[in-house]
Amino acid sequence: MSLIKLPAIGFLIISWVTVCFSPADLVAAPPNILWIIVDDMSAHFSSYGEELIETPHVDSLARRGVQFNNAYVTAPVCSTCRSAFITGMYQTTIGAHHHRSGRGTEKINLPQGVRPIPEMFQEAGYYTTLTGWPIRADERLGKSDYNFEWNQEMYDGADWAKRDKGQPFFAQVQLPGGKLRGGTTEAAQRFAARVEETFGNRTDLSRITLPPYYPATEVILHDWAVYLDTVRETDRVVGEILHKLRDEGDLGNTIVLFMTDHGISHVRGKQFMYDEGLHVPLVIAGPGIEAGQVRDDLVEHIDIAAVSLAYAGINLPRSMQAQDIMAPDYRPRRAVYAARDRCDETVEHLRSVRTLDYKYIRNYLPQRPHLQPNAYKDGKSIVKSFKEAGARGELNDVQQRLLAPTRLPEELYDLTRDPYEINNLAEDPAYGSVLKQMRKLLARWESRSGDQGVNPEPTRMFDSDMKVYVETLEARRRPVEHINTIKQNIELMRRWAQQGK
């Protein structure tokens, strides 16, 4: 596999916030390990080719390390994704594949031999932290959102600056990312005003070009522009985090990993198996890492667990599915895999396998609509706008397909010719051999990984989690109409299951 240098950035920003590594920064091991994990954001950064905004800090980090152009999550929703990368295991293997599961009386315990990696870092003498940004003085931990039972003591606190002198740290900084724009047009407008105060301008709405599977409604165009502003804000905060490292003398001995937990929250992004939901940025930089690398091989987000342990000199558990993608003897993957199961009240069973050239999606519940009822997504202004455009007959054939009452059991896309995954080739005889090969790859992964989603979620677990879900929203005094919609969806899921749908 060959490595190529990053292309020259089309703009240059030089200011006091620019962070770089100098030879004087490089000190002896053991290195600190810092994860910067962002919510709901795809790879819309300048170094990844986004032209409407500038992201100098992530770009700078990429220039000083390695940028992975083909990094993919194994789950397109936060809790399942996070349960996977904190253990280095597929969420389907460890039973954490249903979103926000194990929250009620029915609990999920990790299989024997599987552990959250902060425990391993602690045992190796590392100070472990989990924080949002800015770091709170009260040491409140940041977002975890794991679906299994875990001990909060695996985190020593929120601020790595409070460790003992000379002690290395393993830190996670969790950023809201795409969630900053909220779910409604009103919330997006409030954030846009904040962005204008910070940067002096907003992303130009007139320059937005949407993916072809979205209609250019005013709501969707405005939301996309504000989403790009969340990317700008995220980049600004990345600069602050790197400056904390610099100011405290830690930058030169810290491996920084920047990644998002899944793609943009949109109609067919978050929660779905298309690249918009699965493809994420991944940048790794720090001492000992050759600058200016760009890698195009396929990697999975769980690999950050193996990479981090390896840099710290901690032996990887033999059962760990994550791979040290930075190892000299690493052999690139042939394919990457992903799974989506229940999200909140909405029961689903989707699987996918992706090679560099093809994507295969298996819809195990084809008699259900692609856009199943889901209160979380249905309450978003962009989803409402999409459906309203459909009701007015304003969607093209590709867009209208998302509103169909049923779907095909299989989808196959030629990614070299169809990067937007629009033309389903599963029934095209010319691609028959490719379809068989992709089916085989997926079936082998499901078997070898011990995919626990092969069977429906036990009724007692579903009921346990739904009880907590509804009671939590009631305690937060969410609108009665919203809660009633969730209750209706829960009953619909039960009815469809009884009907074998």
Q: Is the alpha carbon torsion for 180, 377, 358, 454 positive or negative?
A: positive
pLDDT for 7 equals: 34
Could you tell me which residues come within 8 angstroms of residue 14 by beta carbon, excluding any fewer than 6 positions away?
Answer: none
Residue closest to 64 by CA, chosen among 43, 47, 45: 47
Instruction: State pLDDT tens for residues 163-181.
Output: 999 999 999 999 999 999 9
If residue 84 lies in a helix (H) or strand (E), which one and from where to where? helix 78-85
What one-letter code names the amino acid at 37?
I
Average confidence (pLDDT) over 171-193:
97
pLDDT for 396 equals: 96
Instruction: State pLDDT tens for residues 83-99.
Output: 999 999 999 999 999 99
Structure tokens at 354: 């992706």
Q: Is a pLDDT exceeding 70 seen at residue 397?
A: yes
pLDDT for 445 equals: 98
Separation of CA 477 from chain center: 29
Task: For residue 134, say if its preceding peptide bond is cis, omega within 30 degrees of 0.
Answer: yes
Q: Is a pLDDT exceeding 50 seen at residue 256?
A: yes
Q: Is a pLDDT exceeding 70 seen at residue 9?
A: no
Instruction: State pLDDT tens for residues 18-49.
Output: 344 444 344 466 999 999 999 999 999 999 99
Q: Is a pLDDT exceeding 70 seen at residue 312?
A: yes
Residue closest to 325 by CA, chosen among 349, 302, 358, 354: 302
The rounded mean pLDDT for the chain is: 94
Question: pTM of the entire structure?
Answer: 0.93
- What percentage of the chain carries pLDDT values higher than 70? 94
pLDDT for 417 equals: 98
Q: Among all chains, which residue has been given the structure tokens 């072809």?
A: 212
| CB-side neighbour CA atoms (13 Å) of 245 | 31
Give helix then strand counts, H and E, for the chain.
Answer: 13, 13
Average confidence (pLDDT) over 79-85:
98
Residue closest to 412 by CA, chosen among 404, 430, 421, 424: 424
Could you tell me which residues come within 8 angstroms of residue 132 by beta carbon, excluding any fewer than 6 positions away?
Answer: 140, 142, 143, 173, 174, 175, 176
CB-neighbour burial class of residue 413 (10 A; exposed 0-12, middle 13-18, buried 19+)? buried
Do residues 35 and 253 make contact, with C-beta atoms less than 8 angstroms apart? no
Structure tokens at 176: 């809201």
Do residues 237 and 263 make contact, with C-beta atoms less than 8 angstroms apart? no
CA distance 138 to 473: 26
CB-neighbour burial class of residue 189 (10 A; exposed 0-12, middle 13-18, buried 19+)? middle
Average confidence (pLDDT) over 382-399:
97
- What does the CA dihedral 65, 66, 71, 77 come to, rounded to 10 degrees? 0
pLDDT for 32 equals: 98
pLDDT for 247 equals: 98
Which own/partner contact pairs does 449-455 have at CB distance under 8 Å and 24+ positions apart?
449/90, 449/92, 449/93, 449/321, 449/337, 450/92, 450/93, 451/90, 451/92, 451/93, 451/339, 451/351, 452/92, 452/93, 452/94, 452/95, 452/97, 453/92, 453/97, 453/339, 453/341, 453/349, 453/351
Residue closest to 333 by CA, chosen among 291, 301, 375: 301
Q: Among all chains, which residue has been given the structure tokens 């981090």?
A: 308
Q: Is a pLDDT exceeding 70 seen at residue 13?
A: no
Structure tokens at 96: 């954490």
Domain ranges, ordered by start, for the chain: 4-20+38-331
Among the residue ranges 1-10, 233-242, 487-496, the one predicted with the least confidence is 1-10
Q: Is a pLDDT exceeding 80 seen at residue 458?
A: yes
> For residue 112, how many other CB atoms are within 10 A of its CB?
7
Task: For residue 287, say if its preceding peptide bond is cis, omega within 30 degrees of 0.
Answer: no
Q: Is a pLDDT exceeding 70 seen at residue 8?
A: no
CATH, range 4-20+38-331:
3.40.720.10
DSSP H helices, 124-217, are 185-199
- Pairing status of strand 350-354 against strand 336-340: antiparallel
Q: Is the alpha carbon torsion for 327, 328, 332, 333 positive or negative?
A: negative
pLDDT for 29 equals: 62
Instruction: State pLDDT tens for residues 398-423.
Output: 999 999 999 999 999 999 999 999 99
